[in-house]
Amino acid sequence: MASETEFIRSWIRSHQRTPSGSRDFKEATKRDALARLEVELERLLSTLPEPKRPVVEKEFKGFKNLFSRFLAEQGPSVTWEKIQKLPEGAVIDYSTLSTPTTDNIHHMLDKLVVVKLNGGLGTSMGCKGPKSVIQVRNELTFLDLTVQQIEHLNKTYKCNVPLVLMNSFNTDEDTQKVIRKYKGLKLDIHTFNQSCHPRINRESLLPVPKNVDVHNDIEAWYPPGHGDFYESFNNSGLLQKFIKEGRTYCFISNIDNLGATVDLNILSLLLNPDQKSAEFVMEVTDKTRADVKGGTLIQYEDKLRLLEIAQVPKEHVDDFKSVSQFKFFNTNNLWAKLDAIQRVVEQGSLNMEIIVNNKSLADGLNVIQLETAVGAAMKCFEGGIGVNVPRSRFLPVKKTSDLLLVMSNLYSLSHGSLVMSPQRMFPSTPLVKLGDNHFAKVKEFLNRFATIPDLIELDHLTVSGDVTFGRGVSLKGTVIIIANHGDRIDIPSGALLENKIVSGNLRILDH
């Protein structure tokens, strides 16, 4: 058995064509791996009480499908030479969209559901619990801001746009406690959980968990990426409920993208009776050198689809990163037609590319988790289009450097939405790099700023080492502050640094 497993592993690694003599053996070993996985999943199911089985059975069915596709994959899913030029009209420029009339907006919003992907934890920024409860501005969290935005929409246009949160087993319990505080607001909040899949031992290709008590062995399980949205939304019953209510589209975005507000111009485009209905819209924005790894839109086999860096053959990675060859990247703000989601799920025609994520558990065990991305489903829908939106619709907070921007005077807050200051002379945000050793965790980061500096005229900021900022500091142009190991730099209150390099022993040099 061990040698068969080793064979499967080396086959998966190599992705090379094999002589026909060994093809039958390879097929047999793949069948064997799948058969052993099925036996293990059955055993796991048997550890559950009868009433809980149907839900987990559905999730395991999705997992088994992912696993068998993973075994069958033959290398990069894109043949580089088959990528076609984007056809005319495939990506619509946002500036060409018309603004709907006020009397029409109420009816349009009655057709909409807002979905936020809320499965992530704040651990990468040193926070416990869901990322959505990190405070980002004026003591308000990502979730607070989202709720404010939609409540304002509902009040302004006398409508009832529901907010749907896709949680994971990591975030559900804490999120349920938090949303109780919104009870009195004019807003319906629904939640559902994405699937919970077993991690796979990289050596044996068998599931890691011994039973289905997830919270007792949380390391053995994982949420399989946001591509799981479609199946889980359908399984939750919410999809059918909204279709029955006469709603037609959902707007999906990451909870940590503060630019992802409901856009009436895009909604108007989708609901325009004179236009052939698009089942799927991906908001893309212009690539800068900071975004070279972001997924891009391509035409492939006569359909628009998302191309991620992981799918690119190694020899073409530089082409993929080229700003001139691939001008746009995916913001993960997506609009999808509800009945089309139901159709592709029921037909079983969702075949998003599999992302293989290698991890090591605390005990040193090497595991793999199989994931998919929500935007990769684009090719499964009819009439997909891209809309090239302003950069302001992409404002993710992944690191404390992003947090610095959204907490600063670059933005003001209006009904839960961040608005760029009119004093900023150009629409792009500054490029900020804060050293991981001293700034990566939110608590540490906040302790290093007496107040957030004035960034209105900042182009680029790099900070490395043990650096603190006093009150009322202004940063302009390009500012680089580097404290050498063992040194500490305190930027005094009221300091103005414009095109300056500050190094080791607080020498300030013109840049």
- pLDDT score for 26: 59
DSSP H helical ranges for 331-441: 338-347, 400-407, 436-439
Whether residue 26 is annotated as binding a ligand: the answer is: no
Tell me which fold the domain 80-193+224-393 belongs to.
Spore Coat Polysaccharide Biosynthesis Protein SpsA; Chain A (3.90.550)
| Residue 501 β-bridge partners | 480, 509
β 411-414/296-300 pair status: unpaired
- pLDDT score for 340: 96
Residue extents of the structural domains in the chain: 80-193+224-393, 400-503
Per-10-residue mean pLDDT of the chain, 511 residues long, equals: 51 47 64 88 90 88 90 76 87 94 92 96 87 92 96 94 95 93 92 94 89 87 93 95 97 96 96 82 88 84 86 85 85 96 93 88 91 92 93 92 95 92 88 93 94 96 94 96 90 94 67 51
Whether residue 325 is annotated as binding a ligand: the answer is: no
- pLDDT score for 28: 67
pTM summary value: 0.89
- Cα–Cα distances (Å) from 8 to 4, 13, 107, 370, 378, in that order, read 6, 9, 55, 16, 31
- pLDDT score for 15: 45
Whether residue 256 is annotated as binding a ligand: the answer is: yes
- pLDDT score for 19: 46
Which residue in the list 186, 398, 433, 476 is annotated as catalytic?
398
- pLDDT score for 75: 63
Are the C-beta atoms of 187 and 228 separated by less than 8 Å?
no
Are the C-beta atoms of 432 and 404 separated by less than 8 Å?
yes
Specify whether 500 is catalytic.
no
CA distance 201 to 189: 38
Q: What are phi and psi of 74, to 5 degrees?
A: -115, 35
Q: 80-193+224-393 and 400-503 share one CATH topology?
A: no
Whether residue 369 is annotated as binding a ligand: the answer is: no
- pLDDT score for 288: 80
Q: What is the architecture of the domain spanning 400-503?
A: 3 Solenoid (2.160)
CA distance 11 to 25: 11
Q: What are phi and psi of 23, to 5 degrees?
A: -65, -40
Whether residue 194 is annotated as binding a ligand: the answer is: yes
H or E stretch covering 442: helix 442-447
DSSP class of 19:
-
Whether residue 85 is annotated as binding a ligand: the answer is: no
